[in-house]
């Protein structure tokens, strides 16, 4: 009787599991494999020959006589992406934590409404939200003309297509992603612990530092991952706000499947990105075993 | 079996109720057939090194129309035994039969047995009526019949008018009664109650104890009741089975268990007890301080014997015959006065009923005489 | 609990931060919505309130087709992913077994991996197996990444289910399938609805993955909007963006209120 029970359970899980396995896991392995192929003439790949060319291309450039020259172009794109993602993570953390803390202090009724207000941007179209910033940032856009009419600036300032624009867009996009997990952690906080701390002569800042932050740590870590990983691989935010001058990994990858027609290289870049993300995941899983806030 | 509440006015239960519970009901029919025969039940969870033996060689019979209680601390196996009867687990060894029919292998929905859960387990998305009707619907009873039974049940538990309410809108006591009605609606051969009263506050609990007793008398259904509260067991039961660590310690009526505990464990678990120990002599026990406690016994001379004495059976006197003891503490608890004595290096409590003011005026440190009637001394079984 | 009026729990500086925070979060959206009603083309000078751009947008056959595609994809993906997610949640419930951790990892995969990696991998996969890019490939990709979004609320709801309720049903003569239909399913329904709505929003809003695996004629609304933005700012973009935002908003609020109801 127990056997058929288990079979039944496996049967229930298998459609979902098979779908994800076949259409997500397998493709990623395939992607790793295909990064070792040659690019086709009009896009696509040429099956047959295996070459590490894609990975070579990452660090080196071949000049006309086929000599390898160390090329930092792609490395700089990677480092810029890391930088932008890191700054995004730190800044969102600094803002999201007090916000989440404030909401957790409110009465349950207020908390519900405030969380609804945060949930709305979280679930509405990211493309649309990013586009709104174009309206604000561009030449003649809202910020520019407001500053102009207020007399602060004389000439139009150039905000679009700069790293600043991308940074703003990233922070704007991912703020809710940081607030939600931190709030989840803080919501479970036993406020009597704070009362105990105050009773033992801790002031508000000390209590924050020694009690609240350590207890909210799982939520903060989860939030950092939820922000850093997508920010690292983001594609259309730098595309729309950064233009050709502020390429990130995402754009670079997309280019390979667009104008550059180097699919294996795109695959290699994707795989590299995946490897980086998986490494972070592994570190998280090993260090923070058992903290289930990530799946909230 | 008449289930409607109208019958209550005709049955003699109201008379017995006024007579007070805990007294044997001469009017009640003694068990004529054995409802449940539990034979050599053993229950082991898990296997290998980490295996837990929840029940070990438990055998007992429960009669029909009986209010039977399984009593013991948590972990003693009483709930496990109940779940075995209900069918939520299958025993590792042994058998259970219901009116001669073996229950092994039968699923819960194949057994004419119903359960009232500790947390009530009312279906939150169904109304009171729908909850009560559930078991009947599963048995494909005709709609009209279901409606009538539901109405009768609501009247029986005195919740008429609550048909459309959802469980969340009910108080704890009301939820309890719905859970009862839901189970009783199916006229089970046996009703199982798993610590059903433990979630209620003290006053409500006492009311529900009387209510449960009334229901059992009216419906005539065998109730098997699980509790860790010995006072509750004494109040409601026809018979009690005291359990410890998966084994049966003693089975008997409340008076048998209270007045004639066989082991130290049962004596200690039920009510308050004093324990004394001594060497067996012809006329009684020689206590460590050389005093003689008079008692009739059949133990070999020279053996170590443990005895139990209920605090309310002993008396204190300043003059006359008795055992020498010293007063250590006097505690006034409203209804009684409890005097803590020291005798033979043991603590001995004497409980006296107050009739306006403290029963006895004694002072701490006073030397008094402790009077223990020989028939109040219970010789306990030697610990194996 | 905490009384916010108690000065012990008052952090005055936070109030300011909250205002700034919500302003930052909502002003761009408000600007977008407001400008979509602006008659003027330049999008910065306000002339007149007008529905012109909405009219243009709703008469544009390309937009309508893209919207239709989005709806088809979202509808199919939602149904499929919700059904599979419900089955999976039911299979995962109860005593732990070995494959559980593996499945948890599998289900979390679409959430953790950057979208572009999934997009590229899917594209290459379809190429490798020779599946032509079109609405089918979009639907397949959507079903896969919608599963976790549907799964989580259902799983959460299932875990909150008192197991004693099923024992009670069994005790009251319900066979396993009856207990499922009369007790488990009704109680699970809010979770399923919530999961379905999340899946729907996620599918409607998706851009990156769709961008990569959509063939010609399988353009969805976000992809089309992206194309419009690429070619330049126009008030039509404002209008269609606002419409898309409004649709997401409605569904979020609905989902929220349903999940609030016990």
DSSP notation for chain C:
---TTSGGG--HHHHHHHHHHHHHHHHHHHHHHHHHTB-STTSSS---B--HHHHHHHH-HHHHHHHHHHHHHHHHHHHHHHHHHHHHHHHHSSS--THHHHHHHHHHHHHHS-HHHHHHHHHHHHHHHTPPPSHHHHHHHHHHHHHHHHHHHHHHHHHTS-HHHHHHHHHTT--HHHHIIIIIHHHHHHHHHHHHHHHHHHHHH--HHHHHH--TT---HHHHHHHHHHH---HHHHHHHHHHHHHHHHHHHHHHHHHH--
Q: Among all residues of chain C, which has the CA nearest to that of A272?
A: C117
Mean pLDDT of B206-219: 91
In a 3-state reduction of DSSP, which class is residue B45?
Answer: strand
The verdict on a CB contact (< 8 Å) between C252 and A120 is: yes
Q: C touches which chains (3+ CB pairs under 8 A)?
A: A, B
For tokens 């991308």, what's the residue?
A166
The predicted pLDDT at position A293 comes to 45
Q: Among all residues of chain B, which has the CA nearest to that of C165?
A: B121
Pairing mode, strands B190-194 and B113-116: parallel
Torsion, Cα B1 B4 B9 B12, to 10 degrees, reads 20
The predicted pLDDT at position C45 comes to 65
The predicted pLDDT at position B270 comes to 92
Which value does ipTM take for this structure? 0.85
- B332 Cβ neighbours under 8 A, 6+ residues apart: B354, B358
Partners of residue C152 in chain A, C-beta under 8 Å: 295
Distance between CA atoms of B191 and B115, rounded to whole angstroms?
Answer: 6
The verdict on a CB contact (< 8 Å) between C168 and B119 is: no
Lowest-pLDDT choice from B275-284, C4-13, C220-229:
C4-13
Buried b (16+ CB within 10 A) or exposed e, C139-162: bbbbbbbbbbbbbbbbbbbbeebb
Q: Which of B108, B119, B123 has the CB atom closest to C171's CB atom?
A: B108
Token couple for C190: 């809010």
At residue C43 the predicted structure's pLDDT band, cuts being 50, 70 and 90, is: low
The verdict on a CB contact (< 8 Å) between C167 and B186 is: no
Task: Please give the share of chain B, as a percent, with pLDDT higher than 90.
Answer: 52
The predicted pLDDT at position A97 comes to 94
Q: What is the pLDDT of residues B67-90, one digit of tens each?
A: 999 999 998 999 999 999 999 989
Min Cα–Cα distance to chain C from A62, Å: 26
Mean pLDDT of C7-29: 84
Report yes or no: B108 at the C interface, CB cutoff 8 Å: yes
Partners of residue C225 in chain A, C-beta under 8 Å: 127-128, 131
The verdict on a CB contact (< 8 Å) between C208 and A101 is: no
The verdict on a CB contact (< 8 Å) between C173 and B186 is: yes
The verdict on a CB contact (< 8 Å) between C114 and A198 is: no
The verdict on a CB contact (< 8 Å) between A23 and C141 is: yes
At residue B18 the predicted structure's pLDDT band, cuts being 50, 70 and 90, is: very low
Is the dihedral angle over the CA atoms A112, A118, A121, A123 positive or is it negative? negative
* H helix or E strand, kind and range, residue B274: strand B274-280
Q: What is the pLDDT of residues C63-121, one digit of tens each?
A: 899 999 999 999 999 999 999 999 999 988 877 777 788 888 888 888 889 999 999 99
Q: What is the mean pLDDT of chain B?
A: 86
Q: Among all residues of chain C, which has the CA nearest to that of A133?
A: C28
Min Cα–Cα distance to chain C from B305, Å: 47
The predicted pLDDT at position B100 comes to 86
Partners of residue A263 in chain C, C-beta under 8 Å: 124
Report yes or no: B125 at the C interface, CB cutoff 8 Å: yes
Does residue B22 register a pLDDT over 70? no
Interface residue of C161, C169, C171 to substitute, partner B, most B CBs within 10 Å: C171
Q: A touches which chains (3+ CB pairs under 8 A)?
A: C
The verdict on a CB contact (< 8 Å) between C122 and A23 is: yes
Mean pLDDT of B117-140: 91
The predicted pLDDT at position C38 comes to 77
Partners of residue B88 in chain C, C-beta under 8 Å: 167, 170-171
Partners of residue B107 in chain C, C-beta under 8 Å: 170
Q: Among all residues of chain B, which has the CA nearest to that of C176?
A: B109
Partners of residue A95 in chain C, C-beta under 8 Å: 17, 21
The verdict on a CB contact (< 8 Å) between C183 and B109 is: no
Report yes or no: B190 at the C interface, CB cutoff 8 Å: no
Q: Which of C162, C164, C172 has the CB atom closest to B134's CB atom?
A: C172
Q: What is the pLDDT of residues B263-311, one digit of tens each?
A: 999 999 998 999 999 999 888 888 988 888 888 888 888 888 999 999 9
Q: Among all residues of chain C, which has the CA nearest to that of B110?
A: C173
Does residue C126 register a pLDDT over 50? yes
Q: Which of A231, A132, B364 is nearest to C245 (CA)?
A: A132
The predicted pLDDT at position A214 comes to 87
For chain C, the maximum distance between any two Cα atoms, rounded to a whole number of angstroms, is 72
The predicted pLDDT at position A159 comes to 77
Does residue B2 register a pLDDT over 50? no
Interface of A with C in 53-112 (CB under 8 A): 95, 98-99, 101-102, 105-108, 110, 112
Lowest-pLDDT choice from A149-163, B161-175, B329-343, B367-381:
A149-163
The verdict on a CB contact (< 8 Å) between B121 and C175 is: no
Task: Please give the share of chain C, as a percent, with pLDDT higher than 70.
Answer: 93
- A72 Cβ neighbours under 8 A, 6+ residues apart: none
Min Cα–Cα distance to chain C from A94, Å: 11
Min Cα–Cα distance to chain C from B122, Å: 7
The predicted pLDDT at position C101 comes to 83
The verdict on a CB contact (< 8 Å) between A98 and C22 is: no
Partners of residue C191 in chain B, C-beta under 8 Å: none
Q: What is the pLDDT of residues A83-137, one digit of tens each?
A: 999 999 999 999 999 999 999 888 888 888 999 899 888 888 899 899 888 888 8
Mean pLDDT of C196-216: 90
Q: Among all residues of chain C, which has the CA nearest to that of A235?
A: C116
At residue A175 the predicted structure's pLDDT band, cuts being 50, 70 and 90, is: very high
Q: Which of B119, B138, B168 has the CB atom closest to C172's CB atom?
A: B138
Name the residue with higher pLDDT: B211 or A56: B211
Distance between CA atoms of A234 and C5, rounded to whole angstroms?
Answer: 42
Interface residue of A16, A29, A33 to substitute, partner C, most C CBs within 10 Å: A16
The verdict on a CB contact (< 8 Å) between B88 and C167 is: yes
pTM (2 decimals)? 0.79
Token couple for B110: 């194949």
Min Cα–Cα distance to chain B from C251, Å: 25
The predicted pLDDT at position C258 comes to 78
Interface residue of B116, B138, B149, B178 to substitute, partner C, most C CBs within 10 Å: B138
Helix (H), strand (E), coil (C) string for B253-273: CHHHHHHCCCCHHHHHHCCCC
């Amino acid at each position: 009787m127990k056997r058929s029970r288990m079979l039944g359970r496996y049967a229930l899980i298998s459609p979902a599991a098979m779908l994800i396995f076949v259409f997500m896991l397998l493709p990623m392995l395939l992607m790793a494999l295909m990064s070792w192929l040659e690019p086709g003439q009009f896009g696509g790949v040429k099956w047959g020959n295996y070459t590490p060319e894609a990975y070579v291309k990452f660090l080196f450039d071949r000049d006309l006589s086929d000599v390898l020259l160390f090329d930092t172009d792609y490395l700089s794109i990677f480092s810029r992406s890391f930088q932008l993602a890191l700054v995004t993570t730190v800044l969102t953390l600094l803002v999201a934590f007090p916000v989440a803390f404030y909401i957790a202090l409110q009465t349950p009724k207020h908390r519900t409404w405030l969380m609804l207000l945060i949930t709305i941007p979280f679930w509405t179209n990211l493309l649309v939200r990013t586009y709104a910033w174009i309206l604000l940032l561009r030449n003649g856009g809202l910020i520019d003309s407001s500053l102009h009419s207020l007399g602060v600036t004389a000439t139009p300032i150039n905000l679009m297509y700069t790293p600043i624009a991308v940074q703003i867009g990233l922070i704007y996009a991912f703020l809710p992603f940081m607030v939600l997990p931190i709030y989840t952690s803080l919501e479970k906080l036993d406020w009597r612990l704070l009362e105990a701390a105050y009773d033992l002569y801790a002031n508000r800042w000390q209590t924050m530092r020694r009690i609240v932050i350590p207890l909210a740590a799982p939520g903060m870590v989860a939030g950092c991952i939820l922000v850093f990983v997508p920010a690292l691989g983001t594609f259309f935010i730098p595309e729309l706000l950064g233009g050709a001058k502020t390429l990130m990994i995402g754009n670079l990858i997309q280019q390979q499947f667009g104008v550059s027609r180097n699919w294996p290289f795109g695959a290699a870049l994707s795989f590299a990105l995946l490897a980086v993300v998986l490494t972070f995941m592994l570190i998280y899983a090993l260090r923070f075993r058992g903290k289930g806030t990530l799946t909230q | 079996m008449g289930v409607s509440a109208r019958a209550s006015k005709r049955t003699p239960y109201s008379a017995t109720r006024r007579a007070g519970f805990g007294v044997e009901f001469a009017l009640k029919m003694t068990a004529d057939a054995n409802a449940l025969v539990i034979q050599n039940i053993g229950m082991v969870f898990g296997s290998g090194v980490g295996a837990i033996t929840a029940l070990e060689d438990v055998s007992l019979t429960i009669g029909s129309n009986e209010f039977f209680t399984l009593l013991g601390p948590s972990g003693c196996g009483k709930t496990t035994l109940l779940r075995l009867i209900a069918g939520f687990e299958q025993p590792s060894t042994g058998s259970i039969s219901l009116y001669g029919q073996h229950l092994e292998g039968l699923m819960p929905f194949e057994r004419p047995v119903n359960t009232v859960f500790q947390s009530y387990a009312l279906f939150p998305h169904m109304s009171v009526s729908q909850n009560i009707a559930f078991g009947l619907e599963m048995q494909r009873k005709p709609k009209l019949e279901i409606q009538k039974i539901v109405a009768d049940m609501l009247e029986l538990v005195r919740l008429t008018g609550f048909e459309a309410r959802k469980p969340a809108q009910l108080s704890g006591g009301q939820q309890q009664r719905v859970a009862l009605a839901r189970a009783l609606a199916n006229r089970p051969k046996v009703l199982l109650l798993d610590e059903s009263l433990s979630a209620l506050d003290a006053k409500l609990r006492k009311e529900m104890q009387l209510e449960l007793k009334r229901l059992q008398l009216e419906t005539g259904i065998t109730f098997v009741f699980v509790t860790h509260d010995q006072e509750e067991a004494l109040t409601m039961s026809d018979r009690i089975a005291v359990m410890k660590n998966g084994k049966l310690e003693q089975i008997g009526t409340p008076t048998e268990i209270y007045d004639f505990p066989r082991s130290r464990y049962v004596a200690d678990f039920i009510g308050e007890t004093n324990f004394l120990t001594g060497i067996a002599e012809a006329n009684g026990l020689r206590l460590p301080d050389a005093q003689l406690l008079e008692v009739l016994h059949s133990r070999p001379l020279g053996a170590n014997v443990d005895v139990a004495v209920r605090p309310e059976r002993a008396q204190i006197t300043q003059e006359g015959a008795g055992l020498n003891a010293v007063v250590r503490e006097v505690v006034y608890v409203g209804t009684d006065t409890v005097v803590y004595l020291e005798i033979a290096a043991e603590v001995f409590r004497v409980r006296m009923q107050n009739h306006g003011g403290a029963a006895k005026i004694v002072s701490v440190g006073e030397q008094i005489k402790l009077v223990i009637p020989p028939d109040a001394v219970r010789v306990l079984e030697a610990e194996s | 609990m905490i009384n916010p009026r108690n000065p012990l729990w008052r952090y005055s500086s936070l109030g300011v931060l909250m205002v700034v925070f919500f302003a930052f979060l909502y002003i761009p959206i408000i600007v977008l919505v407001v400008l979509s009603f602006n008659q003027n083309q330049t999008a910065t000078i306000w002339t007149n309130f007008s529905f012109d751009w909405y009219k243009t947008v709703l008469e544009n056959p390309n937009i309508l087709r893209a919207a239709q595609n989005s709806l088809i994809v979202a509808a199919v993906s939602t149904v499929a992913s919700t059904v599979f997610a419900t089955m999976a949640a039911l299979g995962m419930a109860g005593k732990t077994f070995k494959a559980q951790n593996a499945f948890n990892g599998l289900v979390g995969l679409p959430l953790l991996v950057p979208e572009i990696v999934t997009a590229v991998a899917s594209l290459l996969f379809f190429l490798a197996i020779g599946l032509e890019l079109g609405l089918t490939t979009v639907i397949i990709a959507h079903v896969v990444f919608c599963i976790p979004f549907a799964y989580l609320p259902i799983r959460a709801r299932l875990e909150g289910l008192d197991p004693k309720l099923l024992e009670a049903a069994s005790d009251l003569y319900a066979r396993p399938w009856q207990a499922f239909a009369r007790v488990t399913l009704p109680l699970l329904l809010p979770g399923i609805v919530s999961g379905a709505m999340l899946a729907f929003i996620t599918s409607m809003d998706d851009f990156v993955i769709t961008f990569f695996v959509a063939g010609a004629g399988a353009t969805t609304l976000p992809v089309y909007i992206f194309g419009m933005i690429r070619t330049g700012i126009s008030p039509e973009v404002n209008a269609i963006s606002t419409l898309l935002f409004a649709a997401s908003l409605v569904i979020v609020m609905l989902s929220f209120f349903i999940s609030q109801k016990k």
